[in-house]
Amino acid sequence: MKMREYKIGSPWYQAACATLRRAVPSGLLAGCLSAATASAASTDASGSPLAPINAVTHSMWPQRALRERGFSIRHTVTGFAIHQAAAIFWALLFEQLVDRMAGPVPSRRPGATALAAAATVASAYVVDYKVVPNRLTPGFEAHLSRRSLANVYMVLGAGLLTAALLRRPDR
C-alpha cells in the first residue's frame, strides 16, 4: 500500500487547507450559537447560564465540573474552548459533506446543504451520547432537559447551515 504524500502545494494539501478554512468559521458560529442555546435553556431551568458550559469540563474534573454554576477560568473558559473545538471538529465533517452533496457553492443547493447539516448533527449526537463513554459526553445533559438538548443540536446544525449559505462563492 502506497502512502499518500502530504506535501505543501499538493492537491490533497490544498483541499485539506480549503476545508479547514471553511470549517473554522462555520464551527465557531455553530459553537457560539449552540453554547448560547444551552446557556439560555439552563437559565430558564436552573437559573445558572454557565452550568452547562462548565459541565463540559467533567472529563477533566469529574467531581467538581457538574456542580460548578458560576464563572471560573478553570471550568467556564476551558469548557467553552472544548465546546468550540468540538464544533470545529464537526464542521470539518459538515464541510466535507457539503462539498460532496451541494458542490462548491452551497447556496445554490440549500436543500443538499441542509441535509449535510442534519447528517452532521445526527452523527454528533450519536457519537456524543451513544458511542463515547459517559466521561467524554459533552456534559450538557447534566443541566438540560432532553428537549433543550435536542434544541442545542438543532441550533448547532442551523449554525453550520447558516455559515455555508452565507459564505461567498469564492471561499
Q: Which residue has the higher pLDDT, 132 or 102?
A: 132
Q: What is the CA radius of gyration of the chain?
A: 17
Q: Is 58 exposed, middle or buried (0-12, 13-18, 19+ CB in 10 A)?
A: buried
pLDDT bin (cut points 50, 70, 90) of residue 18 is confident
Q: Tell me, what's the pLDDT at 30?
A: 98
Nearest residue to 29 (alpha-carbon basis) of 128, 164, 137: 164
pLDDT confidence band for 15 (50 / 70 / 90): confident
The pLDDT value recorded for residue 11 is 80
Residue type, 30: A
pLDDT over 90 percentage in the chain:
78
> Are 156 and 34 spatial neighbours (Cβ–Cβ below 8 Å)?
yes
Give the DSSP per-residue string, 119-170: HHHHHHHHIIIIIS-GGGS-SGGGTS-HHHHHHHHHHHHHHHHHHHHHS-TT
Higher-confidence position of 141 and 10: 141
The mean pLDDT of 122-130, rounded to a whole number, is 97
Summarised one tens digit per residue, pLDDT across range 140-170 is 999 999 999 999 999 999 999 999 999 987 6
**Cβ contact 135:108 at 8 Å:** no
pLDDT of 171 > 60? The answer is no
Supply the pLDDT for residue 5. Answer: 60
| Helix axes 146-166 and 11-46, enclosed angle (nearest 10) | 140
pTM: 0.90
pLDDT in the model for residue 140:
94
How far is it, in rounded angstroms, from Cα 124 to Cα 144?
A: 17
The H-or-E segment that residue 27 falls in is helix 11-46
Query: For residue 170, what pLDDT is reported?
Result: 65
